[in-house]
Amino acid sequence: MRLKDVAFVNPRTLDESTKGDYKFRYIDISSVSADNGIILGDEITFQEAPSRARRIVKKDDVLVSTVRTYLRAIANIDWDAKDIIASTGFAVYTPNNKIIPRFLAYSIKSTKAINQICSNSKGVSYPAIQAQVLSSIEIPYWDLKRQEAIAAYLDKECEKIGRKIELLERKADAYSRLRRSLINRAVTRGLDPNVSLKPSNIEWVGDIPVHWTISRFAYFFAEHNISNKGVNHQNLLSLSFGKIIRKNIDSCDGLLPASFETYQIVEPGNIIFRFTDLQNDHKSLRVGLVNEEGIITSAYTCVQGNKETLPKFAFYMLHSYDIKKVFYKLGGGMRQSLNYRTIKDMKVVFPPIDEQKEIAAYLDEKCAKIDAILEKINTEVERLKELKRSLINEVVTGQRAIDTESHS
């Protein structure tokens, strides 16, 4: 059965003449995930809203992202939705009398449907599918009685899996908070609990040991900018989740330039900042420590510490600034981007070099243990998410039999 045979697409849209003070809660692409459903943001007005805030959604509608389709951003509205508006990046499907809303959502999440959505998407770095093409995909379909039984069974089983995932994610969050706390205390107070303290007069640092040095960022760090032009360095690096990682220079995965001559060469011990898109992205970790020579986009700011700094301690200290969202506060308000010149007067604190070594070694050991625990938790979470995806696919396609009588 084709999707357009069982549902109407985008039946309701906000008019351009809508009053500017009309309030609603907005669903953008980042608000929806295959595993967590919909997370609603705060109320905004039509005047404040982005131009893509146009799709009116109601109870029983199913939202399917038509952009970045590999994210599988599909969710159904299973509550009495009032004043909820979605981005035009979604196709909003309102079921007709041939299909049960919950079954419609599950059927679109099936491997059969997802594969069609991805294969019909156009674009490499930002794949998208047209709504009319999306509406023509084939979805698993059964009679209404079996649809109800399948939906009831999956509701129950997916809720069980969801509870397990939620418990694991709470555990991971607790360990992550412990990790952040350990780093923050060590890079602002050191390891001696009896040390005498003095005010740093830095809002996000607080009191520090009396023998530590406070100075401008530019005293400890110089901008490091070596062009790759004519060098043709091939070890491509990127900043991801606070870590500098290798990328395949020959891969089409991600937005890569025609030439890497505009990139900069980085060396072990350099610290990288990604200061772009500060206004729109409040979640990313923006500081990374370089451990190998390579090239990285010149959109990133690269610095090198002086002889009074240990790179690993400097990274932990600046990572602490990062998780406190210090960079969003610089420049007297929110900036779209920063650079070396705009952070050179930022105050930073450093202990003597031998103490930096002790603190860095301590944090390496503690963080390694926590990271190992987090990796195990995340592996189990991913296993459960894959189990959920497989369960949905097998049940809606009939590969796994269920008792339709007891669930109808």
The mean of the pLDDT values for the chain is 91
pLDDT band, very low/low/confident/very high, at 406 (cuts 50, 70, 90): low
Q: Do domains 3-141 and 143-195+351-408 have the same CATH topology?
A: no
- At 260 the pLDDT is 85
Residues 317/350, Cβ–Cβ less than 8 Å: yes
Counts for the chain of helices (H) and strands (E), in that order: 9, 23
- At 333 the pLDDT is 45
Which of 31-40, 166-175, 378-387 has the least mean pLDDT?
31-40
For the chain, the domains span 3-141, 143-195+351-408, 213-350
Average pLDDT over residues 249-260: 62
Average pLDDT over residues 346-352: 97
pLDDT band, very low/low/confident/very high, at 125 (cuts 50, 70, 90): low
For 88-162, list the strands marked E by DSSP: 90-95
- At 408 the pLDDT is 55
pLDDT in tens, 192-224: 999 999 999 999 999 999 999 999 999 999 999
pLDDT in tens, 76-114: 998 888 899 999 999 999 999 999 999 999 999 999 999
- At 117 the pLDDT is 94
pLDDT band, very low/low/confident/very high, at 309 (cuts 50, 70, 90): very high
- At 251 the pLDDT is 57
- At 181 the pLDDT is 97
Query: What's the fold here for domain 3-141?
Result: Adenine-n6-DNA-methyltransferase TaqI; Chain A, domain 2 (3.90.220)
Residues 262/228, Cβ–Cβ less than 8 Å: yes
CA distance 40 to 46: 16
CA distance 331 to 190: 29
- Asked whether residue 241 carries a pLDDT value surpassing 90, the answer given is no
pLDDT in tens, 4-24: 999 999 999 999 899 999 999
pLDDT band, very low/low/confident/very high, at 123 (cuts 50, 70, 90): confident
- The encoded tokens of residue 182 equal 């350990």
> Which residues, 6+ apart, have CB-to-CB distance to 365 below 8 Å?
none
Q: In the β-sheet with 23-27, what is the strand arrangement from edge to edge?
A: 43-45, 23-27, 84-87, 53-56
DSSP letter (8 states) at residue 97: T
- Asked whether residue 407 carries a pLDDT value surpassing 70, the answer given is no
Burial (0-12, 13-18, 19+ Cβ within 10 Å), 256: middle
- Label residue 46 left, alpha or beta by phi (over 0 means left) and psi (-120 to 50 means alpha): alpha
- Asked whether residue 350 carries a pLDDT value surpassing 50, the answer given is yes
Query: What's the fold here for domain 213-350?
Result: Adenine-n6-DNA-methyltransferase TaqI; Chain A, domain 2 (3.90.220)
- The encoded tokens of residue 381 equal 């979470």
pLDDT band, very low/low/confident/very high, at 252 (cuts 50, 70, 90): very low
Choice between 271 and 327, residue whose per-residue pLDDT is larger: 271
Closest to 320 (Cα-Cα) out of 354, 281, 353, 359: 359
Choice between 38 and 41, residue whose per-residue pLDDT is larger: 38
Q: Is 266 helix (H, G, I), strand (E, B) or coil?
A: strand
Residues 294/246, Cβ–Cβ less than 8 Å: yes
Closest to 252 (Cα-Cα) out of 354, 399, 123: 123
- At 334 the pLDDT is 47
Q: What is the pTM of this model?
A: 0.81
Query: What's the fold here for domain 143-195+351-408?
Result: Helix Hairpins (1.10.287)
- At 193 the pLDDT is 95
Q: In the β-sheet with 271-273, what is the strand arrangement from edge to edge?
A: 221-223, 301-305, 271-273, 287-289
Closest to 301 (Cα-Cα) out of 268, 328, 266, 277: 266
- The encoded tokens of residue 193 equal 């609990």
